[in-house]
């Protein structure tokens, strides 16, 4: 028996912008924020990697704990403040602290701060700051969010690589349905555009190469025949979720809701995706939402643009849905936010539902002929009857997470 949970508001800090107007213009216009980023490290030849950075001043954010904050934590705080503001604009939002939870995802926590600390210690031989641990620990963001909003119901961090924030959101959905809490601030972040972290990803040979600075924005081409890997990104997205009863009690009526969620594990390989495992997750999410494949009008794909990743996802989607559902990947324009990706892509899915318009996969000139999918390309597509949509997150480690979102009417 599934129970829908209302999306009271959402906020974000992304390479596509930090407000809905700018985000929509970039998302539905297929305008890429990916650029060539120089990477210079001692002992390694200088190079350029494709990445999508946020125009965000983390130094302007103040931590509720009054401790230094990693850039990712600052993004998380800004996104959550925007989400709560949006929820408050609809109706007064004054949750019971004992019934308010924070569920947050991050794949690498305070990666940038940790790298800077290591360089200070080993290269510059400087003393480490006593705040290093509370700044870099994976649950630093959720701790600051709990302090900021006075949450006492739960403060939980999920680290499931690229599925981290999707799992966080889904587990909050379960907690709300179970009646453990009434409201939740959920989402995820990642801020990893530090030289060493980027070089580590490049060493895995999963990043799209930069041929020239002029065409770096086209480096990530999900589902294309000539796809060559993904572009890293940074950012955060947050949502305020609440039960139907809580929404009614405060006089709010959001048309958007979460209808279902599923997570499972391939249990097959640490990095290679497994189409049968993804298909099981897709079917489980539909069962959880009480929906049939034909009810789904859009899938925001994980779509990293790696050769193996896109193939496995195309196979799993085709297995469950055939070629009857439109699919696109927005990673082509905002990059791969790892732990923050699930949350940002759920926001993109909610914007598709709100506008009843499907964002395109940018740079998809020639699709891989091996894919039997209805790929949205060449521009946004109107979807006047759209009521339900999926957001996929399939992670290193074999964790699969699928969220089902819907809208009334």
Can you give the residue range of the structural domain that contains 363?
256-407
Q: What is the pLDDT of residues 374-409, one digit of tens each?
A: 999 999 999 999 999 999 999 999 999 999 999 998
Q: Provide the percentage of residues in the chain whose pLDDT is more than 90.
A: 95
Considering the domain architecture, whether residues 20 and 154 belong to the same structural domain is answered as yes
CA–CA gap between residue 218 and residue 183 (Å, rounded): 40
Q: What is the pLDDT of residue 90?
A: 84
pLDDT of 1 > 60? The answer is: no
At 127 the pLDDT is: 87
Which among 217, 250, 283 is the end of a domain? 250
Q: Are residues 212 and 315 in the same domain?
A: no
The average confidence (pLDDT) of the chain is 96
User: Using one digit for the tens of pLDDT, what is the confidence trace for 342-357?
Assistant: 999 999 999 999 999 9
Check whether 172 has a pLDDT greater than 60: yes
Indicate whether 57 and 189 sit together in one domain: yes
Catalytic residue among 162, 220, 246, 334: 162
pLDDT score of 46 = 93
* Whether residue 21 is found in the same domain as residue 146: yes
∠ CA 231-235-239, nearest 5°, is: 130
**Same domain? 118 vs 168:** yes
Please determine, for residue 2, whether its predicted confidence score (pLDDT) is greater than 60. no
Catalytic residue among 18, 189, 334, 336: 336
pLDDT at 273: 94
CA 100: distance to chain centroid?
A: 22
Residues 345 and 310 placed together within one structural domain of the fold:
yes
CB-side exposure of 119: number of CA atoms within 13 Å? 12
- For residues 54 and 136, membership in a common domain is answered with yes
Q: Are residues 76 and 119 in the same domain?
A: yes
**pLDDT tens-digit series, residues 133-171:** 999 999 999 999 999 999 999 999 999 999 999 999 999
| 18 catalytic per annotation | no
Same domain? For 327 and 208 the reply is: no
282 and 363 within one domain: yes
Mean per-residue pLDDT, 304-333? 97
Question: For residue 66, what pLDDT is reported?
Answer: 96
Band of pLDDT at residue 4, cut at 50, 70 and 90: confident
Q: Please report, for the domain that includes residue 16, its CATH number.
A: 3.40.47.10
**For this structure, is 363 an active site residue?**
no
pLDDT above 70 as % of the chain = 99
Q: Is 265 a catalytic residue?
A: no
Residues 153 and 206 in one domain: yes
pLDDT digits (tens, 9 = 90+) for 72-111: 999 999 999 999 999 999 899 999 999 999 999 999 999 9
Catalytic residue, from 189, 302, 334, 363: name it: 302
Which one of 250, 285, 315 terminates a domain?
A: 250
Q: What is the pLDDT of residue 367?
A: 97
Q: Mean of the pLDDT values across residues 7-28?
A: 98
Q: Which of 250, 270, 289 is the last residue of a domain?
A: 250
pLDDT surpasses 90 at 253:
no
237/272 same-domain check: no
For residue 250, what are the CA distances in angstroms to 8, 44, 91, 149?
A: 11, 58, 6, 18
How much is the pLDDT for 318? 97
* Residue-level pLDDT at 409: 85
- Structural domain total, the chain: 2
Q: Are 398 and 268 in contact (CB under 8 A)?
A: yes
């Amino acid at each position: 028996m599934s129970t829908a949970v209302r999306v009271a508001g959402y906020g974000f800090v992304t390479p596509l912008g930090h407000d809905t107007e700018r985000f929509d213009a970039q998302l539905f216009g297929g305008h890429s924020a990916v650029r060539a980023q120089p990477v210079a490290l001692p002992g390694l030849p200088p190079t350029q990697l494709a990445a999508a950075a946020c125009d965000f001043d983390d130094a302007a954010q103040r931590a509720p704990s009054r401790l230094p904050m990693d850039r990712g934590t600052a993004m998380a705080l800004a996104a959550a403040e925007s989400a709560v503001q949006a929820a408050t604009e609809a109706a007064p939002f004054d949750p019971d602290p004992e019934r308010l939870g924070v569920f947050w995802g991050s794949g690498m926590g305070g990666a940038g701060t940790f790298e800077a600390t290591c360089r200070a210690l080993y290269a510059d031989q400087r003393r480490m700051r006593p705040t290093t641990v509370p700044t870099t620990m994976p649950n630093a963001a959720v701790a600051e969010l709990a302090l900021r909003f006075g949450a006492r119901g739960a403060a939980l961090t999920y680290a499931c690589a690229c599925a981290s924030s999707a799992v966080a959101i889904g587990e909050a959905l379960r907690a709300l349905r179970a009646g453990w809490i009434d409201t939740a601030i959920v989402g995820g972040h990642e801020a990893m555009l530090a030289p060493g972290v980027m070089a580590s990803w490049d060493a895995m040979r999963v990043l799209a190469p930069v041929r020239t600075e002029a065409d770096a924005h086209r480096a990530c081409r999900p589902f294309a025949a000539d796809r060559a890997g993904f572009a890293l990104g940074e950012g955060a997205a947050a949502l305020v979720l609440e039960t139907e009863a809580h929404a009614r009690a405060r006089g709010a009526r959001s048309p958007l809701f979460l209808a279902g969620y599923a997570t499972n594990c391939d249990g097959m390989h640490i990095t290679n995706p497994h189409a049968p495992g993804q298909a099981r997750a897709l079917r489980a999410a539909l069962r959880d939402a009480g929906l049939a494949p034909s009810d789904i009008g859009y899938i925001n794909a994980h779509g990293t643009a790696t050769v193996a990743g896109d193939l496995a996802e195309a196979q799993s989607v085709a297995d469950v849905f055939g070629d009857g559902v439109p699919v696109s990947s927005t990673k082509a324009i905002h990059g791969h936010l790892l732990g923050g990706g699930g949350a940002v892509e759920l926001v993109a899915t909610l914007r598709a539902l709100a506008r009843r318009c499907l964002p395109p996969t940018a740079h998809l000139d020639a699709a891989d002929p091996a894919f039997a999918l209805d790929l949205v390309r060449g521009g946004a597509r109107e979807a006047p009857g759209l009521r339900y949509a999926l957001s996929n997150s399939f992670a290193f480690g074999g964790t699969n997470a699928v969220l089902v979102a819907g809208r009334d009417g």
